[in-house]
Structures are given as C-alpha cells and as structure tokens.
Amino acid sequence: MPIGDPGSGQAPPGVVALREPAHLVSPRARVMWFVGGVAQALVLAAAQALWWRVDAEGSRAPHVVLGAAFVVPALAYVVVMPQWRYRVHRWESTPTAVYTQTGWVTQERRIAPVSRIQTVDMTRGPVAQLFRLASVQVTTASAAGPLKIHGLDVDVARRLVDELTTATAAAGGDAT
Amino acid sequence: MTEAGPQPGAQPQPGARPQPGTRPQPGARPQRGTGLSALETDWRTLDARMLLIHPVTEGIRFLPALAAVFIAGRTSDGHDWWQLAAVAAVVVLGVLRWLTTRYRIGNGQIELRKGLLNKQVIATPADRVRTVDVTAPVFHRLLGVAKVEIGTAGGGHRGERIVLDALGAAEARHLREELLHRRGSQPSELPGEVSTWADDGRPPVAAEAGGPEAETTLLVLQPSWVRFAPLTISGFLSGLAVVGFGGQFVSQGFGLRGLRGAEQRVSDTPLWLALTAGAGTVAVAVSVLAVVGYVLSFWGFRLTRHSGGSLHVSRGLLTTRETSIEEARLRGLEVGEPLGLRLAGGGRLQAVTTGLSRRENDRGNAWLVPPAPRAVVERVAAEVVGDPEALSAPLTRHGHAARRRRYVRAVGPALLVSGVAFALTLLRGWPGWVLALAGLTVLASPALAKDRYAGLGHHLTARHLVVSSGSFSRRRDALSRDGIIGWNLRQTLFQRRSGLVTLTATTAAGKQGYHLHDVEQSRAVQVGAEVTPALVEQFLAR
C-alpha cells in the first residue's frame, strides 16, 4: 500500500485503511452484556413501578405513556446490543503494539505501542466472574489512551497480561 | 534510597542510557556541583516567619465567618463562638504542622519529613529534580519568604512533589539555581530523548561543567498588552463572575426602597435605552475586572532560556511565581486564539510539556506568552521550538463532509431553540424579544459554522503534527512527533455514515490527547502511518 514520503504531507493515490483487529472476544461476553442490559432495564422498570405505586391518585395516562415509551427501546437494547457489541469488540496484540476496537453505536479503535505501556491490569467484576470472563486494561503514559478489552475469556486474558508484562519489561525506559 | 546511576567518576556520554541495575559503589559519590554541597544542612525547620503568615492566611479564609461573629453582633444563641474556636483550632494545627516539618539537604538528596499523626518522609535525589517553582504570595513577599515546590522525573501525577513552605527568599532562589543548573555537569537522563537534540542542531549539553550559565531573555511583558485582557474567554468570564457576585451584594445593600425607586426609573426609560445602558455598564465592569486579573497574573512576565536547557518564567504582581520548564520535556506548543483575541490580532502561547499534573496545568504553569500581539506569539514560538513552519503553514482542510457537519451542528440547535421559542411565544404568550433573540442566533449560526470550519485543519511538518480546531476558543497545537504515543480513532454513527473519524493523537504531555475532528478515514490512517509507521503499518488493510 503506497504511502507518500514522510514529511511531504501529500495524499498518495489509493485509499489507506486500517484493518480490523484479529481476535474476537469470548462468545460468552454476549450473555454477560445481555445480563447487564436486563439488570439496567429492571432498575428502570422498578423505578417506574415505584412511581406507579406512589402516585396512586391522578390519571394513569403519563404512567402508561412513559411505560410504553420505555418498553420498546429497552427490549431493543437488550436484544440488539449484545450481538452488535460482540461483532464490534476486537483485539490484537503484536510484539510491538496493542490494537483494540470497542463500542457499538459509537465505535473506537485504539493503537498503543508496547514500549510505552505503563500498567496492564486484569479485572473481573461479579458478573464477569460468573461467566469466567475478564477485562484487561492497558494504560500508557497518556491519560487519554488507556486500552480496554472487556469480555475476554479468563485464560486468554491471563495469557495476554503475561505477554504484555514480559514485553513491556523488555522494552524498559521511562515510557513518556 | 538507592538509585540506578552512572558509575562514579565516569561522565555518561550523551545519548547513553544508565544501565538498569547498576549502583554507585558503596562509599563513593557521583560528582556534584559544589553549589549544592554549600547548601547542605542538617534537619531544619521551615522559616519561622511562617508562624506569622499562617494565622493571617487562615484568618482571611475564615473572614466571612469572623465577620459574622463580630460585625453582625455577638447576639443570638452564643453558638457563634464555635466558629472562633474553629479558627483557633486551624491556627493551632498550622503551628503544629510547622513544628513537625523538617527538611534536609545533603548527600545529593533533598529530604522532607512531615506529618503529625502520619509521619512521612519524602526523599528525592537531586539528580531527579526536573522543575523547581518558587511562589511568593503577597504575605510571603512582605516577610521575605517564598514557597518552593520541587518536582521530579516521573511528573507530579506520579511522583511526590516536595513542597517547602516557606524558605527565606534568597535561600529559595539559591536552592532553585543550584538544583536546576547542575545540568552543566550532568546531561539530562531521559533515554532516547537526547538523540533528538542532535537532530535539531542544538548541541547536547557539554559533559564537563561549563562556565557561567548563559541566559537569554525571550520575552518581557509590555504594559500595552493589557488591552487584550477583556478579550479572552477566561478574562471575560471571571470579570462576569465578579460582577454577578457583586451584584448580589449591591441589590442586598440597596434595600427594598432603593430597588423600588430604581425599578420605577428603569421602567420609565424606553427598553432599548435601558438594555444598551445595562449592557454597556456590564461590559465596562467586566473589562476593568479582566484587566485587573491580567495585571495580577502576568505583571512582570519574563520568559528566559537557560543554556542548561530550561525555560524560566517569572510573573505575578501580588503573588510572584517562578516556574521552569525543562526543554527535554517540551513536547509542543499550544497557540490559543479565542474569538476576541483573534479579532484584535492577538494570541497566547502555552507549552505542551510532560511532568505537569493536571492541577498545575490548570493553574497556568505552562504559560509561555500571555495574551499578546500575534507577531510576538509567533516569534517566541519559533524561538522555543525552532520550527516556524509549524505555526504558519496553511492547514489541510478536512473536506466537504466535515463542513457539512459544522453547519448542521451549528444551525440545527439554533433552529431547534427558535422552534421552541416560537411555540412558547405562540402558546404561552412569552414576550416577543425571546423570539427575536432566538431568531438572531439562527441568523448568526451559519457565520459560526463557517468560522468553525475555517479553524479546523491539520498539517504535518518534519517534526510536528499541527492540529487546529474551534471558533470561540480556537487553538492551534503543534505537537512534537516524537511525543506522540498512540492513536484513538473514534466514530459516532453519523461519522461512520459520512466516512469521517475523529483522530486523537495521545501523548504524555499537556492535554494528553489532541484531536483532529471529522477528518476523512483514509487521511486519518495516513497521518498515523506517517507519524508512527512502525506502529500503524502492521495494521493496514492489504
């Protein structure tokens, strides 16, 4: 893929594009996101039920309208979001870089060099532990650039963390 | 406190990295400038004059409470004296803090011992010192002391800063000189950065201690620049805040009778006259206050460059600040041109530098040029960064889709607001001037969109990535290509449909991330591949 000489700032012929990262996250992540979505929807529904009980007198019309306005988007969110997220979330780690793609409606790709990594964290929330999943967060010296990968299988996550910590230690330096 | 350092007696070559794991031999010491050993002390308390200053500053902080106790009368339930007791307690705590704080300079280290219940010892090798800021608020200056803040490699957000509040003024300055200008005998320690110095054509610092440090003055504030003060957003807002705040007192002070009389007079005069008179008064008040703020912040502004490789800034009228920015940590420049300044032909300059915590950045420790004429900003920027093309070259625009987005995002909300205002006027009978105002914003929004598109662009020079955006608060940031760590490419749903992306260059300095808004996808990847080919090319679609 031709690229113009460095520093010329000229646009070369042809289109340059990034490919997607190589690996998907674990399929169980869909279930985890589904459970998370259902929990959020339940919280909102509970709030509405509370309002229904508290505001017993007066017309029921606003309650019904709000309920209807809430049900359809909530259902759509709970059904569509996990699958969409699963198709978008990708990650890749090479000896020199980490590359992630996250999001669903708004999508973001992040690239960070291994030589500038400062910390590599693996976290497992309670729901993630249920499904044997983990999240890996890679921070660099820049506060704007942490890379997060949610929904990794726990063994894959551990391997990734080990790889990255070894690679980072080998690179050394101040990392700024 | 052991350190990985060069072998004693050997001068490290420029470009060499200290090998990890080596230590100075026991009993031997790395060479030091004689100046620091002249400052060596045993454990000492901070200057005793702080005992005078502390109660005064705490008293001032509690002035409203004190005023309530004394002026409003010692009436009521006598619980007012609790507030006095609180003030007394704070003063006593301050004295105790003074008593339990000790510092020591010696052995190539600066140590600070503090804490009443939680004893803490912070030690810094003098080698690791990167910034030394000397601040002297007004009471400190009256008594001849100054506060010294020592920042180390790793930056304020990771390392502890040593704050010595306060030392005698002469001693503080002497300490600062010694800590910063020891560059002459030891080159900067950051691996991988020293090689860039050679590329720039600037000679790396001599391995042997040089003669007297050369200091070149880059900028001295001219009093006529005060005219730019009301034109900056922050100046305007702070002036407005004071006016609003003061207005409360005024209205309370007037009392009800005064207000009624004023109201009568206002409703007598025609609306347009009252509005213009009101706006005029506010504008004058805001301008005066902004000027006062500018003078307080920037009086005596002086930017100098030391041949040891740092830029020094000293400024301030009541509170004087002397800060230093090490050039090895400089990763670029931010040229700010908010709308008012731009129309008046001015600008301002801040440094993009690692090692400043966000708090310090907000406090303005990165100022290189206060609001001043544009020519001055350009000259200083060229001298500091040595890349005149970065700040004057024309920018690559971001294309039609980006322009369309600017218009939609400016005109859309204005239309929405007008629609709401129209509905409210029609249905609820709101006064007509609300609709007129909304209509005005609709008329003004295309101009705003045009200006925003004109301010959006980027440019790649041999050493910098230049990013520009904004209209009301336009910024042109020149980011050193070496300082860019990685990339974020963000696309909302609408951006995906238009083939646009917001590219963020992440860096460890300044604002941490600098955005190219709404740039075409392929251009974004091109920029990434040109600046960091080793990083991005492995992920290109083939």
* Window 326-355 of B, Cβ < 8 Å to A: 354-355
Q: Does B22 touch chain A (CB under 8 A)?
A: no
Listed range (B20-34, B165-179, B336-350) with the worst mean pLDDT: B20-34
Q: What mean pLDDT do residues B9-15 have?
A: 42
pLDDT at B297: 84
Of B489, B507, B537, which is closest to A109 when you measure between CB atoms? Answer: B489
Check whether B283 has a pLDDT greater than 50. Answer: yes
- Of the ranges B97-101, B154-158, B505-509, which one carries the lowest mean pLDDT score? B154-158
Which residue matches tokens 């009568």?
Answer: B264
Q: Which of B513, B533, B537 sits opposite A142 (nearest CB)?
A: B513
A–B interface: beta-carbon pairs under 8 A: 139
Comparing B280 with B359, the larger pLDDT belongs to B280
- As a whole number, mean pLDDT of residues A29-56 equals 89
DSSP state of B483: G
Residue pLDDT, tens place only, B300-329: 899 998 877 788 898 988 888 888 888 888
**Residue B239 Cα distances to B231, B235, B250, B294, angstroms:** 11, 6, 16, 11
Res B436: pLDDT: 84
Over the stretch B461-478, which tens digit does the pLDDT of each residue have?
999 999 999 888 899 999
Overall average pLDDT of the B361-386 stretch:
84
Alpha carbon distance B202, B196 (integer Å): 9
Report how far residue B51's alpha carbon sits from residue B55's, in angstroms, rounded to the nearest whole number. Answer: 7
Q: How remote is the C-alpha of B471 from its chain's centroid?
A: 20
Q: What is the C-alpha to C-alpha distance for residues B410 and B426, in angstroms, rounded to an integer?
A: 25
Closest Cα of chain A to B108: distance in Å?
Answer: 22
Residues 139 through 168 of chain B touching chain A, CB cutoff 8 Å: 153-155
Annotate chain A with DSSP letters as a single string. ---PPTTT-PPPSS---BPPPSEE--THHHHHHHHHHHHHHHHHHHHHHHHHHHT-SS-SHHHHHHHHHHHHHHHHHHHHHHHHHHHH-EEEE-SSEEEEEEESSSEEEEEEEGGGEEEEEEE--HHHHHTTEEEEEEEESSTT--EEEEEEEHHHHHHHHHHHHHHHHHH-S---
Task: Tell me the average pLDDT of chain B.
Answer: 77
- pLDDT attached to residue B363: 60
First to last CA, chain B: 52
Chain B segment 416-475 residues within 8 A of A by beta carbon are 459-462
Measured in angstroms, the CA of B540 and the nearest CA of chain A are apart by 4
pLDDT at B37 over 70: no
Contact A111 B507 (CB under 8 A): no
Residues 6+ apart with CB under 8 A from B378: B347, B388, B391, B392
Lowest mean pLDDT among A28-42, B4-18, B487-501: B4-18
Strand ranges, E, within B226-364: 302-306, 310-315, 320-326, 330-338, 346-353
Task: Establish if A111 touches chain B: CB-CB under 8 angstroms.
Answer: yes
3-class DSSP string for B363-426 = HCCCEEEEEEEHHHHHHHHHHHHCCHHHHHCCCECCCHHHHHHHHHHHHHHHHHHHHHHHHHHH
CB < 8 Å from A in window 506-525 of B: 506-509, 511-513, 521-523, 525
Reading the block at residue A122, the tokens are: 């693996």
Kindly state the helix (H) or strand (E) to which residue B144 belongs, with its residue range.
Answer: none
**Average pLDDT, integer, range A75-100:** 93
The per-residue pLDDT for B447 is 92
Confidence band for B356, pLDDT divided at 50, 70 and 90: low
pLDDT of residue B249: 63
For testing contact with chain B, the best of A1, A3, A10, A18 (most B CBs within 10 A) = A18
Please indicate if any CB of chain B lies within 8 Å of the CB of A13.
no
pLDDT at B242 over 80: no
Lowest mean pLDDT among B29-38, B151-160, B226-235, B239-248: B29-38
- Top pLDDT among A152 and B199 is at A152
Cβ contact B234:B363 at 8 Å? no
Record the tokens describing residue B186, joined without a space.
Answer: 């030891």
Is the per-residue pLDDT at B157 higher than 70?
Answer: no
Determine the residue type at B421. A
Contact B534 A172 (CB under 8 A): no
State the pLDDT at residue A104.
92
Among B148, B143, B103, which Cα is nearest to B123's? Answer: B103
pLDDT score for A135? 93
Residue with more model confidence, A24 or A174: A24
Tokens standing for residue B289: 């206050």
CB contact under 8 A, B485 and A15: no
- Average pLDDT over chain A, rounded to whole? 85
Edge-first strand order for the sheet with A133-140 is A117-123, A133-140, A147-153
d(CA B173, CA B176): 5
Each residue of B496-526: pLDDT tens digit? 999 999 999 999 888 889 999 999 999 999 9
- Do the beta carbons of residue B390 and residue B461 sit within 8 Å? yes
Which chain A residues contact residue B492 at CB under 8 A? 105-106
Here the ipTM equals 0.85
Q: How far is the C-alpha of A100 from the C-alpha of A91, rounded, in Å? A: 4
Interface residue A169 vs chain B (CB under 8 A): no
* Residue B332 Cα, gap to closest chain A Cα (Å): 14
Lowest mean pLDDT among A52-56, B138-142, B231-235, B370-374: B231-235
